[in-house]
Structures are given as structure tokens and as C-alpha cells.
Amino acid sequence: MLETSAMVMMALILGTIWGGLAYFVNRAYRREKREAQGGSDE
């Protein structure tokens, strides 16, 4: 049985690290999409 404190910590750590990664990747994806629509930056 999962203890409450472990559940809270799991939500905190996985939320921060996996959530953070998802947020940053999404931001990069949106930027790339925007730039592709506006033309290459090279």
C-alpha cells in the first residue's frame, strides 16, 4: 500500500521533472512550428 507521504513526494518530483520536461519540449515545439511557418532561420 502506497503511503500518503510517498504519494505526495511522487507527485511533487514526477510533476516537477516530467512536467518540466513536457513544458520545455512543448515550448520548443511551438517555437519550431512558428519559425517553420515564418521561414527558415538559416
Partner 1 sequence: MEKKEQFTSRWALLLATLGMAIGAGNIWRFPRLAGQYGGAFLIPWAIFLILWSIPLLMVEFSLGKETRKGPVGAFAAFLGKNYTWMGGFVCLCTSAIMFYYSVVTGWALKYFTAAAVGDLAGANHQEFWESFIASGYQPILFHLLALGVAGVIIYRGIVNGIERANRILLPALFVLLVIGAARSLTLPNAAEGLNYFFGFHHANIFDYKMWLEALSQSAWSTGAGWGLVLTYAVYARRREDVTLNAFITGFGNNSASLFAGLAIIPAVFSLAPAIGRAPLDILKEGNEGLSFIFIPQLFEKLPGGQIMSALFFLALFFAALTSLIAMLELATRMFMDFGIRRQKSLPIVIIVTALLGLPSALSLKFFKNQDWVWGLGLIISGSFFAFGVIRSGVKRFREKFLLAEYNDLRIGAWFDGIMKYLIPLEAVALLVWWFNREWDAQMWWNPLSPFSLVTCFFQWGIVMAILILVNKQLYRLLTRQSV
CB of 11 to partner 1, least distance (A): 9
**13 touches partner 1 (CB under 8 A):** yes
Q: What would the DSSP string read from start to end of the chain?
A: ---HHHHHHHHHHHHHHHHHHHHHHHHHHHHHHHHHHH----
**27 touches partner 1 (CB under 8 A):** yes
- Interacting residues with partner 1 (CB under 8 A): 1-3, 5-7, 9-10, 13-14, 16-18, 20-21, 24-25, 27-28, 31-32, 41-42
